Structure 1
Amino acid sequence: MINKPDRLYFIDAMRAWAILMMLQGHFVDGLLDHAFRDTSHLGYNIWLYFRGITAPVFFTVSGFIFTFLLTKGDKTGFSNPRVAKGIKRGLQLVLIGYLLRLNFWGLLVGQIYNTFYLVDVLHCIGLSLLGIIALYVLTEKRKALFPIALLAITILLFIFEPNYSKWAHAYLPQTFANYFTKANGSVFTIFPWFGYATCGAFLSLVFAKFKNAKYVYPIAITTALTLGAGLLFGSSAVFLYLAETTKVQLFADIFFNNYLFIRLGDVLLVFAVFMLFRKFMTNSTLLKMGQSTLSIYVVHYIILYGSFIGVGLYYFLNHSLAPSIIIPGAIAFMITCTFLALQYEKHKVVIKATIVSALKQGTTLLEPWATFAFKLTKDLFIKIRNATLKLFRLVKD
């Protein structure tokens, strides 16, 4: 494997770990029988806790790597070619998020099901990238404001989550309200998850500033461990103290449901672990997985939830499997999805060319029929119009 000096391999390894955690998490959560969801069982509790780490890590790493690449060159603002690429990528993620929820059978009967409009992780990551780009462009003239804005947004979104999470946004069309509330069934909402992306973006700016320092990794690891452990074990106590001292209800609400800051602590600890063992994370397959997370996500979604046709593993095995089947099944599921996705990445150029060629051929074959249908429709419309005008004249006379 050829080493690239600017490539942060531990980030790719983190992305690979996060996508594998997401795959097994969705598989187990969707197919495990309710009878085995016992919170008094140590093994289930450990799995449940680590499953909760996956999304925060994924959002934070996405913000980190995107911003690290965005700010790497000398060009700024819209003159930076990565701005256009980032906008395209963000919109692409939102579009794919909707396509994965599309049901072709519904389209055949002229119906789009309500699940199509629900917001999932791809929608929120896509919008998060667009949000980071907006902040980057707006602070072009005063670059020092960019990291300040990123950190401020993270803190504000996390602190005020108990307030805005209660808003139903009934004044918005449901399609747009789904980005801000889970009331209609959305899995993720842009707030507070944008906060993890902006936190990752902030961390990337700090890392990029000191990446050539002699002791950058020892200092980064120590800092991540300290801050991570502090947030994990001490943030609740801080908010309890603030609530008791200031009598502000918001601090009490955070204390009773302090999942955002605790999960941020988990994320920093994961960063520390992967930076600590970064020298052992240069396996080419592992890194390729980290660079192919979108393809892996799409493949897993189609197999598990049955995108497009509505028939997947979830359709047949919904909450029906025992742990003896779930555990080897989850391993097989991760291997299958990863293998198929990597094969797609390997032959992506040929596959895309074949699809484009097939579409062009299909368009050529359908063109005479489309012309005939258009002419027939046009003639029919003219006859209906003439008949209506004739009838109108007769009634008028």
Structure 2
Amino acid sequence: MMKQSNRILFLDYMRGFAVIFMVMGHSIDSVLARDVRVTDGFILYDAIRGFTAPIFLFVSGFAFTITTERRWSEFRTFSKATGKRLLKTVALFLIGYALHAPFFSLEKILKETTPALLEQFFQVDVLHCVGASLLMLQLMLFAIPSRRVFATIVGGLASAIVLASPIVWNIDFAPIVGSFFSPYFNQTQTSIFPLFPFACFLFTGVVMGHFYLEAKEKGQENRFVKSMLVLAVVVVALGIDFDLLPISIYPHHDYWKSSPSWFLVRIGIVTLVCAALNFVKRLPDFAHRNLVTLGQSTLLIYPIHLMIVYGSAANYGLMQRIGQTLAAHQAALIGVAVLVSMLMLTYLWNYLRKNYFVPARLIQAGLASTLLYNFLTRPW
């Protein structure tokens, strides 16, 4: 069984780095001038930044496996643990939709939402993708008794979704499943992270997590990690080679969004990062402490930093107040400032929860109830 310390070093380092890229990336994007975005440096930076979501999804799948296999019998029934997991999944959906609400007023949403605003409201972000993927996994878990069979079926499902993505992306699902569910399939409507193919990063994490635990129980962790490194390189090479073939079995599609070849390249690089971090025993205390803190607080940091940089129905963000007008070094400073503020907020919240648990919960409940009351009663 995996020790807690190994779990922190393995998963939270990876997730902590992803949080840094996420906060910096969104902050810079909200204020960076458009003429800077055509430079070679920005194009390289943007390509690296594009791995943030795949890393988050992969780690979410890996963590799902570790948590589930530790308490396999509990999560296969409607236990207290399963109930908590389902509530957290519902919270992902609620936060995701709240961040894209067109107005901070239920009455105004019902009366004044245009089709364009409704499309914005229904868009699928990374929280929706994680929530839908975890819900699918939990439903499968109820029906599959074996750990190995579960991992195998999840791997098969991931492969099927990846291979079907170029075809799925050419179908308008709105007339079939409605405008609410359509964004979960592709970007025919506004959608940032549809399940095709992004759920496969999470599903791949589930499979990797299962075989990692198997290897660890046999005392073959280092051997498995070395195999992951080799596998990652092979997968990247296959992704590149498949794209160079003179024939294609797919209709015209967006390579950067739905191509199985590009998925292989990305999941190979994510796996490479994952395997490399397994060899990191412990970073210096300052880096270790901050990375772990960030990695364990993604659900706190994600919505708050988005509201700060992009704004929401309830507030103006940096994008509205400053606009995309700053030079690269100025935008980078904004990114650092937002990142530091998120780190300070996380430390403060952790301190309150540890030392003043009841007051912290009262603050949390009071804030949530105040926001909900205003949302339900405001006429504008």
Q: Does the alignment reach a TM-score above 0.5?
A: yes
- Cα deviation 1:89-115 (Å, max 9, x = unaligned): 111101111122235555464444422
Counterpart of 1:181 in structure 2 is: 186
**Displacement of 1:195:** 0.8
- Cα deviation 1:43-102 (Å, max 9, x = unaligned): 323312211111111100001102210111252511554332221211110111112223
Please give the secondary structure, in 1, of the residue aligned with 2:334.
helix
Q: Is the 8 A contact 2:62 2:208 kept in 1?
A: yes
Counterpart of 2:48 in structure 1 is: 50
CA separation in 1, counterparts of 2:364 and 2:70? 35
- In the alignment, structure 2 segments of 5+ residues that lack a partner are none
1:26 aligned partner, one-letter code? H
Deviates more, 1:193-202 or 1:4-13: 4-13
Does structure 1 residue 352 correspond to structure 2 residue 355?
Answer: no
Please give the secondary structure, in 1, of the residue aligned with 2:191.
coil
CA separation in 1, counterparts of 2:371 and 2:171? 48
Q: Is the 8 A contact 2:239 2:263 kept in 1?
A: no
Counterpart of 2:7 in structure 1 is: 7
Counterpart of 1:342 in structure 2 is: 347
**Displacement of 1:177:** 1.3
CA separation in 1, counterparts of 2:180 and 2:71? 37
Q: Is the 8 A contact 2:37 2:43 kept in 1?
A: no
- After TM superposition, the score normalised by the length of structure 2 is 0.84
**Displacement of 1:337:** 2.0
CA separation in 2, counterparts of 1:232 and 1:209? 25
2:67 aligned partner, one-letter code? L
1:94 aligned partner, one-letter code? F
- Length, aligned pairs only: 354
CA separation in 2, counterparts of 1:333 and 1:224? 35
Higher relative contact order (CA 8 A, sep 6+): 2
CA 1:252–1:303 in structure 2 vs 1: closer, same or farther (change >3 Å)?
closer
CA 1:249–1:359 in structure 2 vs 1: closer, same or farther (change >3 Å)?
closer
CA separation in 2, counterparts of 1:259 and 1:132? 24
Alignment of 1:226-375 (within 5 A): 226-238=230-242, 240-241=244-245, 244=247, 249-250=249-250, 257=259, 258-280=261-283, 283-348=288-353, 349=357, 350-354=359-363, 356=365
Q: Is the 8 A contact 1:224 1:268 kept in 2?
A: yes
Q: Is the 8 A contact 1:70 1:83 kept in 2?
A: no
Q: Is the 8 A contact 1:239 1:255 kept in 2?
A: no
CA separation in 2, counterparts of 1:10 and 1:360? 36
- After TM superposition, the score normalised by the length of structure 1 is 0.80
CA 1:268–1:254 in structure 2 vs 1: closer, same or farther (change >3 Å)?
farther
- In the alignment, structure 1 segments of 5+ residues that lack a partner are 364-369, 371-397
CA 1:281–1:81 in structure 2 vs 1: closer, same or farther (change >3 Å)?
farther
CA separation in 2, counterparts of 1:233 and 1:361? 53
CA 1:129–1:48 in structure 2 vs 1: closer, same or farther (change >3 Å)?
same
Counterpart of 1:24 in structure 2 is: 24
CA 1:95–1:359 in structure 2 vs 1: closer, same or farther (change >3 Å)?
closer
**Displacement of 1:131:** 1.2
The ranges of structure 1 where at least 4 consecutive aligned residues each deviate by more than 6 angstroms after the TM superposition are 251-256, 358-363
Q: Is the 8 A contact 2:18 2:56 kept in 1?
A: yes
Counterpart of 2:162 in structure 1 is: 158
Q: Is the 8 A contact 1:28 1:326 kept in 2?
A: yes
**Displacement of 1:136:** 1.6
Counterpart of 2:65 in structure 1 is: 67
CA separation in 1, counterparts of 2:295 and 2:8? 11
Counterpart of 2:36 in structure 1 is: 36
Q: Is the 8 A contact 2:293 2:346 kept in 1?
A: no
Counterpart of 1:124 in structure 2 is: 129
Please give the secondary structure, in 1, of the residue aligned with 2:77.
helix
Please give the secondary structure, in 1, of the residue aligned with 2:282.
helix
CA 1:179–1:292 in structure 2 vs 1: closer, same or farther (change >3 Å)?
same
Counterpart of 2:201 in structure 1 is: 196
- Cα deviation 1:100-145 (Å, max 9, x = unaligned): 22355554644444222222111111111111112222212x4432
- Could you say what the CA RMSD is over the residues aligned between the two structures, in angstroms? 2.9
CA 1:72–1:323 in structure 2 vs 1: closer, same or farther (change >3 Å)?
same
CA separation in 2, counterparts of 1:226 and 1:362? 50
CA separation in 1, counterparts of 2:361 and 2:80? 24
Does structure 1 residue 93 correspond to structure 2 residue 92?
Answer: yes
Q: Identity of counterpart residues, as a percentage?
A: 24
